[in-house]
Structure 1
Amino acid sequence: MVNTVAWFEVASDDPEAAQRFYGDLFGWTFTPDPDAPMDYRMIHATGEEQPGGGLYGTGGEVPNHATFCVLVEDVAATCAKVESLGGKVVRKVVADPGGTSFAYLHDVSGNLFGIFTPPAG
């Protein structure tokens, strides 16, 4: 549903260590995302068929974080609205080869969060 938290993300400059930590802590399993243009691993909670989040190997491009991601109708329009409300675009709109568009933002308090729009259809 649009404008709801629909994903979570853990980002780390040491994704192997993060995968071990969360795997050992919660029993999560990880599978590579073949459509991602970077090191991105889908997170599956125990007993869940569909992933509920992702582990992003940042390569130092963005700060380490664990955050929520909101499903939006239009990533570019939402980025513009964030800026008009005093927030900041941390990483510009990116579309992966599978057609998912996303961006990382700061709210007015500096909290990092993500937005995304899945491919049409």
Structure 2
Amino acid sequence: MTTPALNTVSWFQIGSDRPEQTNRFYGELFGWNFTADPDLDGYDLIRYAVGADPVGGLAHSPDASANHAIFLVLVQDVAATVAATESLGGKVIQPATTAPDGLVFAYLLDTSGNRFGVFTPAPKS
């Protein structure tokens, strides 16, 4: 899998309390393929009809209030980006968090209240 350029939208996430229905909708609409993430329960990896690398994920939401669609930007340093977001007037929804596989992410709000995420990938093994 190739690593996208820093500071680019490199992942998207959809949250749905009806993941099977969401998989079917986007699969039929765009030809996207969904497979269970082997490292994370309740999360499916999304692949475009062409290409083997995952490009997004579908989080299984507990109820409709947690449904969402957001983009995530690949950054060099999540903690530094969180600090810069706050200094520019944005807000932190979820501070820098490290997943079990080593991926680091945070969820933020821009100055208009739009939710987005930032991440650094897990170290290559």
Q: 1:88 to 1:14 in 2, by over 3 A?
A: farther
Provide the residue aligned with 2:78 in structure 1: 75
On the 8 A contact 2:16/2:64 being kept in 1, the answer is no
Residue of structure 2 in register with 1:2 after alignment: 6
The 10-residue stretch of structure 1 (62-71 or 38-47) with the greater mean CA deviation from structure 2: 62-71
Q: Which runs of 4+ in 1 moved over 4 A?
A: none
User: Is contact 2:42-2:59 (8 Å) kept?
Assistant: yes
Q: CA deviation at 1:95?
A: 1.8
Correspondence 1:106 to 2:82: no
State whether structure 2 residue 42 is matched by structure 1 residue 39. yes
> What fraction of aligned residue pairs are identical, expressed as a percent?
52
What pairs up with 1:79-90 in 2 under 5 angstroms?
Answer: 79-90=82-93
Query: Is residue 45 of structure 2 the alignment partner of residue 16 of structure 1?
Result: no
Give a deviation string over 1:82-111, Cα, whole Å, max 9, x none: 112111111232222211111111101011
CA shift, 1:56, in A, is 1.4
For residues 23-78 of structure 1, the C-alpha deviation after alignment (integer angstroms, 9 at most, x for no partner) is: 12112111122223x52211011121111111112325974222211001111221
2:97 alignment counterpart: 94
**Retained in 2: the 8 A contact 1:35–1:96?**
no
TM-score, length-scaled by structure 1: 0.86
Larger CA Rg, structure 1 vs 2? 2
Which whole-Å CA distance do the structure 2 matches of 1:11 and 1:28 have between them? 16
Residues paired across the two proteins, number: 120
Unaligned runs of 5+ in 1: none
